[in-house]
Structure 1
Amino acid sequence: MAGSLTQLTRQGDVLLLEFNNPGMLNALDVGMAAEIVEILESVNADDTPVIVMTGTGRAYCAGGDIKLMARGDAGVDYMRRMNRLVKSMACCDSVIVSAVNGFAYGGGFDLVLASDMAFASSDAKLAMVHGDIGLVPDMGSHFFLPRVVGMNTAKMLLWTGEPIDADEAMRLGIVNKVIAPEHLVPETLEFAERLAHRPREVLRLSKRLLNGLPTMTLDDVLEAESEAQVKLFGADDHRARLKALLDNRKSN
């Protein structure tokens, strides 16, 4: 399932997905994007509850494929492949947690935003650098970023391209936690393992609800929540957990 530009390690119920092109600072080329999409589509079949994504070397992902752009080969097909990656992350039933090590520039920042959660090393830097080479931020950044930081702050980050450090990213809500570099992956995996023990169907349905919110009215949300809840009311997992709670109360 992994390829030459990614490597996979399964730790309990968690899948660790590492971008593995450190010599290029894990630049997001079409090959890496295709490998990630293949992995995300395959884990839906094996019911993996949580995926942790990080980069090997000193960068999470330093942006898009500059060499391809310099050759003039970037175009409609390239953007379709990048967009498919973002959609695969949104549609993946697994919770995706990014462990942001080092640089997350351009497309790397986009991947952080497309993740469900993100932890960052204390030395991480994030920047929307697309404009530095005359390009507009892409991969859904105009969709995700205002939802997280608000419209005015999104404009500042998207238009200036100025980097922010991990503490500022946490203050803005872009990352959930800042961790010392040497503890980033172990602590993220530990969190992911705890999350993986939450009811899987609850995580899956809640992610779908949250991702659908921007196009949903209150009535839509209430109806979708009701449909999910009725489904869970009849699930064995709900009955078992409810019985355990009631039995514990009786014993006390």
Structure 2
Amino acid sequence: MTGPVTVAVDDDGVATVTIDRPDRLNALSSATLEALLDVLDEAEAADARVLVLTGAGEDAFAAGADIEEMAEFSTPEAHAYASLGHDVTRAIETFPAPVVAAINGYALGGGLELALACDLRVASERAVLGQTETDLGIIPGWGGTQRLPRLVGDETARRLVYFGERVDAQDAHEFGLVGEVVAHDELDGHVADLASDLAARPRVALAAAKEAITQSHETDLGAGLDFERRTWASLFGTHDQREGMRAFLEERDPSFE
């Protein structure tokens, strides 16, 4: 497909979603956000086992919201735009398979918020990340004030948001903002290998693990433990549970669905 967002699904079931506005540093206009929602639905309908989210070109994952579009928003228009951004980040967070952010350049403002909604984040050594909204007289509006503290801790999140600080990939890794940093020219290959490894894992178990871990951020410990127990038990009787345990006992590699 063509448009501000593209998707390609390979034979392993890895869907690569690319924000394709390199001339605007992949800025997230309303049309781009709506296209992202459509593409996420398309990837789910294609039974993607893993989703990779990245940006087109050499410079940006997504440099943020489209400031030209939102500069003159009224409060109701701003609310609608924020709601659309929340719909996208929530769709990423609840996608029924692991989502990997391949951060190939700038991930600022709303662009970082997209990455925060992913399960794993791999950054190019050239990447620059930041919640820069206070530079514009606003705050993060697509989940940054909620997901960032959960990832990096309260004070680090406050410093990043209050000062609108931009950090390089190595500092982002030290903060726990990304899981890995790789050479720029190795990013695509490294993420492809990571996604392929994930795609070979048991699909149902990974989806259940993702949902259970997400619950840990949204409920108290007791409710989360109850969810984990019920989800764990529900996996018994699935093909992958039977195959995984038989393979272990038979000392062979499993063949998951």
TM-score by length of 2: 0.92
**2:131 pairs with one of 125, 128, 132:** 128
* CA distance in structure 1 between the aligned counterparts of 2:60 and 2:80, rounded to whole angstroms: 26
1:83-232 residue pairs with structure 2 within 5 A? 83-232=86-235
Paired AA for residue 4 in structure 1: G
Report how far residue 220 of structure 1 moved.
Answer: 1.4
Paired AA for residue 221 in structure 1: G
The alignment status of 1:55 with 2:58, answered yes or no, reads no
Moved more, 37-46 or 25-34: 37-46
SS of 2:217 mapped into structure 1: helix
SS of 1:214 mapped into structure 2: coil
Q: Percent identity?
A: 32
* CA distance in structure 2 between the aligned counterparts of 1:196 and 1:10, rounded to whole angstroms: 12
SS of 2:216 mapped into structure 1: helix
Paired AA for residue 127 in structure 2: A
Structure 2: runs of 5 or more not aligned: 253-257
* CA distance in structure 2 between the aligned counterparts of 1:181 and 1:49, rounded to whole angstroms: 25
After TM superposition, what 4+ stretches of structure 1 lie above 4 angstroms from structure 2? none
Report how far residue 177 of structure 1 moved.
Answer: 0.6
Contact persistence 1:105–1:128 (CA under 8 A) = yes
SS of 1:148 mapped into structure 2: helix
SS of 1:205 mapped into structure 2: helix
Report how far residue 75 of structure 1 moved.
Answer: 1.7
1:231-250 residue pairs with structure 2 within 5 A? 231-248=234-251
Report how far residue 185 of structure 1 moved.
Answer: 1.2
Report how far residue 3 of structure 1 moved.
Answer: 4.1
RMSD: 1.4
**Paired residue for 1:7?**
6
Paired AA for residue 34 in structure 2: A
Contact persistence 1:47–1:94 (CA under 8 A) = no
* CA distance in structure 2 between the aligned counterparts of 1:67 and 1:13, rounded to whole angstroms: 37
* CA distance in structure 1 between the aligned counterparts of 2:220 and 2:70, rounded to whole angstroms: 40
**Paired residue for 2:16?**
16
Paired AA for residue 185 in structure 2: E
Structure 1: runs of 5 or more not aligned: none
Report how far residue 128 of structure 1 moved.
Answer: 1.2
**1:79 pairs with one of 74, 79, 82:** 82
Residues 145-195 of structure 1 show CA distances to partners (whole Å, capped at 9, x for unaligned) of 111111111100011011100011111111111011111111101101101
TM-score by length of 1: 0.94
Paired AA for residue 85 in structure 1: V
Residues 204-225 of structure 1 show CA distances to partners (whole Å, capped at 9, x for unaligned) of 1111111111232232122211
Paired AA for residue 118 in structure 1: R
Contact persistence 2:6–2:39 (CA under 8 A) = no
Residues 210-251 of structure 1 show CA distances to partners (whole Å, capped at 9, x for unaligned) of 1111232232122211211111111121111211111128xx
SS of 2:250 mapped into structure 1: helix
Higher helix share goes to which structure?
Answer: 1
Paired AA for residue 64 in structure 1: A
